[in-house]
Chains A and B, each alone.
Chain A
Amino acid sequence: MGASTDYDVVIVGAGIAGALMARELARQGVRVLILESGPRDRDDRKSFHETYLTATAKLPNTPYPPYWHGNDPAHDPNEEAAPRPMTAMTFAWPGLTEFQKWNGSPAKFVAFNRQSYLTYTTTTELPFLSTYERMAGGTTWHWLGTSLRFTERDFKMESTYGQLVDWPITLTELYDDYARAEDAIGVSADVGDQRALEPYLGPQFPNGYEYPMRRIPMSVSDQALAQTLQGLQFDGQDMELTCTPQGRNSEYRNGRPACQGNSSCIPICPIQAKYDATLTLQEAESTNFVTTVTQAVVSDLDIDANGQRNARKLVMP
């Protein structure tokens, strides 16, 4: 590290949220240090792609390290510097009804969490039941690119459905933020397609809004399904097929090609037509206000009497 090791902000994790925050702060002249527990892509995704192609089981996190097999009973995940659940482990996870049978038994949740790395604490809440990546770019490496907006009712879950909570913000207050996020990701969609859902979902877009790129065309099987659905009803509503907004290019944009249909969004787009957060991370770092340290595991935050997070424990190999 150079002479200047003073930073205004430290961000833990170089995923989409960390990278976007770093980029926005850096554009305002704020010096940012990002601590990322996993490694960085070293060869423009060639190694990850080859690992995917030669894997006999092609699962959502197959291309990415660590490569230990989650079902190997002889392997202790605690030996990994930055372990995370493997897709194969999910096949053996308890289902929703089994969790209910646990009836909030802390011991069972503690044992499960120790084995699966699903939650941060010894909570007795339902754990996070999916996989994620610990590397620069985070889980956007293996996301599908689905970029739906929330609906108005998502912000009013308690008053609408008696579940969860109502948010202190509304969808319309987030219109500009959604537009910026869809621009940063590069979303391909037809706003007309999405407006067709307004009778069911309510408005989701301001007047005159257009997505950054035209929609991805429907596949042959989508077209066949759409035709079959025509004239059918469910619950008294006409059925129709609409395209989902996609975080992948439908044209050359910002140095990235249009989707070539590799059919492997999950787990890896070999040509980066699909957005991943390494792009935003590069934009952040190119300001020279952002330093990313990889393979640096933050294990704890100390919070002082004034509520300030003023120290951290940092484990670096």
Chain B
Amino acid sequence: MSIQPPSAFFDLSALLTGFTVQTLEFAQQSADFFGVFDEIYGSGHMAKLLSVYDAHVQAGDAPNDIGKAILDAGSPVEDTARALMAFWYLGQVAPLNDPENLQIPSGNHYAQALVWRAVQAHPTGVSTQQFGYWANPPAPLNDYL
């Protein structure tokens, strides 16, 4: 059973991806992004990233400043943040020490990846739409965020 992620995980992820907390919580329900990231990327890195994020929040920094600070923080915090963004968007992650070894942990991680929403489409191989939808323009971007 997967561990309930701390709310900071969703807040930080929303800041890094541009998607709402609600959308990310929905994805986490279907595929364990929080726990599996730790398993594959390497234990402890997420905790370190979240502690840096918490420190900024405690200091009362503005969200955009926090995001910029984390993405300019250098290794390992910056690397962890970028790997987390890629995991949310593409559903794939590699161990920190083995960057060529990209993995899509489950079909649900692939299907819930944010890239599909960003391009206003469904994951290839996972359509929830009906016959003939392709003859009409996709729904507006806001419907996917």
A contact residues vs B (CB 8 Å cutoff): 49-50, 52-56, 58, 217-220, 223, 250-251, 258-264, 268, 270
Q: Which residue of B lies closest to A46 (CB)?
A: B107
Q: Which residue of A lies closest to B103 (CB)?
A: A56
30 CB contacts below 8 A, A to B, read A49-B107, A49-B125, A50-B107, A53-B111, A53-B123, A53-B126, A54-B106, A54-B107, A54-B109, A54-B110, A56-B103, A217-B134, A219-B135, A220-B134, A220-B135, A220-B136, A250-B131, A260-B129, A261-B129, A261-B131, A261-B132, A261-B133, A261-B134, A262-B122, A262-B126, A262-B127, A263-B122, A263-B125, A263-B127, A268-B125
B127 in complex: contacting residue of A56, A220, A261, CB < 8 Å: A261
B130 in complex: contacting residue of A218, A251, A260, A263, CB < 8 Å: A260
Q: Which residue of A lies closest to B138 (CB)?
A: A220
Q: Which of B91-117 contact A (CB under 8 A)?
A: 92, 102-107, 109-111
Chain B at the A interface: SS class: loop
Q: How far does the Cβ of B9 sit from chain A's closest Cβ, in whole Å?
A: 23
Q: Complex Cα distance A220/B132, Å?
A: 10
Contact at B124–A56, with CB atoms within 8 Å?
no
Q: Complex Cα distance A275/B67, Å?
A: 49
Q: How far does the Cβ of B85 sit from chain A's closest Cβ, in whole Å?
A: 17
Q: How far does the Cβ of B131 sit from chain A's closest Cβ, in whole Å?
A: 4
Residues of A within 8 A of B136 (CB): 220
- Decide yes or no whether B137 CB sits under 8 A from chain A: yes
Q: How far does the Cβ of B111 sit from chain A's closest Cβ, in whole Å?
A: 7
